[in-house]
Structure 1
Amino acid sequence: MNAPAPQPLEATTILERHDEGGVTTLTLNDPTSRNSLSEAMLTALSEALKAIAADRSVRAVVLAAKGPVFSSGHNLKEMTARRADADRGRAYFTDILDRCSAVMQQIVTLPQPVVAAVQATATAAGCQLVASCDLAVASSAARFCTPGVNFGLFCSTPMVALSRNVTRKHAMEMLLLGELVSADEAFRMGLVNRVVPPGEELGAAQVFARVIASKSTLTVKIGKKAFYEQLEMGLADAYRHASAVMVDNMLARDAEEGIGALLGKRQPRWEDK
C-alpha cells in the first residue's frame, strides 16, 4: 500500500499566501487556536508583509481567515504561561504587544492597500487587525468585539486602531461594554465598508482589491501614505502637507498620462512612475 502523498506547504502553514492578477491574498489558517495572533502568527504576518512591501508585482492585498473565527486576538494561553517567569511575564508581555503593534503598523504603512475579508467573529486584537486594514468586507454572520473589560484586561492596544476608524462614542461603547457587535452595526459605525451574505465576503474583498490593482500603483501608494499622515495633523498642517503631496503627484508620469487619457477620452496606460 502506497504512503499518502505529502501535503503541500500551503495546506499546513498557519498563514497561506495566494497571488493572482496583482492581488495577494493572505489567509490566517490556524483554526485550532481560533486564528489567534500567537508568536508564530505574528512572525508569519510580519515576514509576509515585509516581502509584499518589496514586491512590485503586488498591487493590493486581501487578508482573510479560515475556520469559525476570523481571529480571537492574542493567544492568552501563551501569555498566561509566562506568568511563571521571574518577572511575572512583564518582559514577555511587553515584547508580544510591541510585536503585535508593529504588525498593525506594517499594514498601515504598507504601500499596497489591504482589504480585510471577515467571515466570522473578530475579537480583541483580531478586531484591531480588521480596524488596521484600509478597507473591510464582512459576512453578515461576522461579529466584532473588544471584550477585555469583561475579564479585567482593557483592550488598550485594539483601542488605538478602533478609535481611528469609528467615532469616539462608538469606540468607547465597544471598549466599555465589551459586547459583540453585529456586522450591520459595524457597518453603521464605520468599522467595515460592506456587509455581504455569508460565503461572499472573500469574493467581495477581492473585487475591491482588483479594482485597486487596476489603478496606478504609484498614485495609490502616494495616496495611502498621505491619508494616514494627514490624519495625525492639525487642519492647517494637513492642508499644507496634502497640497505638497498633490504637487509632487501632479508632476509624476502617471498623473500626466491619466489626465491626458481623460482629456483624450481613452484608457490610461500606467507606467507606475
Structure 2
Amino acid sequence: MQSTDILLQDLGEDGILRLTLNDVKRRNALSEAMLAALGTAFAQAGDDPSVRVIILAANGPAFSAGHDLKEMTAGRAAPDGGNAYFAKVMAMCSGVMQAIVNCPKPVIAEVAGIATAAGCQLVASCDLAIASDRAQFSTPGVHIGLFCSTPMVALSRNVSHKHAMELLMTGDMTHAARAAEIGLVNRVATEDALQDTTMEMARKIASKSSMTLATGKRAYYAQREMPLSEAYEYASAVMVGNMMAHDAREGIGAFIEKRAPQWQDA
C-alpha cells in the first residue's frame, strides 16, 4: 500500500486498510489527482488478499467538498469551452464511485466533517457510513446553477425518493442525526468516539469470511437492479454456489459443533 501526499494509506495487522483523504487546503476536493489516487487505491485493495475491510476517512474539517471548482473552471479555457475536460472528469469520478461498489472488500466511510456535492456522493457510494455528530451533508449544486446529477445517482440509491429530491432541490445542509434518519449513514457517534465506533464495525466485519462478504456484496448490488422474480432466481443461484464453498461448509459445521469457524476465505 503506497501513500501519496493527498491520500494516506495504512494497512493494519487486522486487515483493515485506512484510506485518508489528505488534501486539507483544498478541503479534500475530488481533483483529478485525488480521483486518480482513489481509483488506484481501490483497485489495488480489491486485489490484495491481506485487505479485509476498507475505511475511507479524511483529515481536516471537510470530508470532501466535492469537485475542485477552480480546477473545473480552468478547464473552460480549452477551445471547446471545457466540454471534453468536463466529460473526462465526470467519467473519472463515476469510475471511482463504481470502483467502490465493485470492490469485493466492504468499504466504510468515516465522516468527521462536511461532505458536499461529490463528497456526499462519495459517502453514499460506500457500503456503510459512520458519521460524527458534527458531520454535515449536502448536494448544493442548485445554489450555483449546477444540479448535482451525478451525486444524485448514489444518493437516490441510498435514501427514499422524496428525501433525495429535498436534498437535491434545496441544497440545504443536513446534519448527521437527520442523515441517519433518512439512511444516508448507518449511525452517528460523538467526535471523540468516531474512530473507535468505525473500527468496532470494521473489526466485526473483518472477522468474517472474505469470500462470503465478496459474494454477498456483489450479489446485493446486482439483484437490487433486477425485477423481483429475476432477483430471486439470481440470488438462489448465488446461494447454491455459496453453499458449495469451503467456508460455508466450515461455518455451518462450526455452528453445529458449537466452535469458532476457521475461515480459508474460499
Instruction: Give the alignment's TM-score, normalised by structure 2.
Output: 0.98
State the one-letter code of the partner of 1:221: A
- Per-residue CA deviation, residues 40-75 of structure 1 (Å, 9 max, x unaligned), is 100110111111011000000000000011000000
Which whole-Å CA distance do the structure 2 matches of 1:101 and 1:211 have between them? 29
- Partner residue in 2 for 1:205: 198
- Matched residues in 2 for 1:56 and 1:249: separation? 19
Cα deviation, 1:102-158, whole Å, max 9, x if unaligned, reads 000000000000000000000000000000000000000000000001110000000
Q: Aligned partners of 1:76, 1:64: CA distance in 2, in Å?
A: 22
In structure 1, which of residues 61, 64, 76 is the aligned counterpart of residue 57 of structure 2?
64
Percent identity (aligned): 57
Contact 1:31-1:66 within 8 A present in 2 as well: yes
39, 45, 48: which one aligns with 1:55: 48
Are 1:239 and 2:239 matched, yes or no?
Answer: no
In the aligned structure 1, how far is the partner of 2:139 from the partner of 2:212?
A: 35
Amino acid at match of 2:244: L
Shift of 1:25: 0.3
**Are the aligned partners of 1:119 and 1:199 in contact in 2 as well (CA < 8 Å)?**
no
1:268 positional shift: 0.4
* 1:214-268 per-position Cα deviation (integer Å, ceiling 9, x unaligned): 0000000000000000011011111111100000000101000000000000000
CA-to-aligned-CA distance 1:179-235 (integer Å, 9 cap, x gap) = 000000000000000100013222211211111110000000000000000011011
Equivalent residue in structure 2 for 1:258, among 251, 256, 264: 251
Give secondary structure in 1 for the equivalent of 2:184. coil
The Cα of 1:163 is off from its aligned counterpart by 0.2
Cα distance per residue 1:11-37 (max 9 Å; x no partner): x61000001111000000001000000
* Aligned residue in 2 for 1:16: 8
Structure 2 partner of 1:214? 207
Unaligned runs of 5+ in 2: none
Residue of structure 2 equivalent to 1:42: 35
Distance 1:171 1:120 in 2: 20
- Runs of 4 or more, structure 1, over 2 Å off, are none
Equivalent AA in structure 2 for residue 16 of structure 1:
L
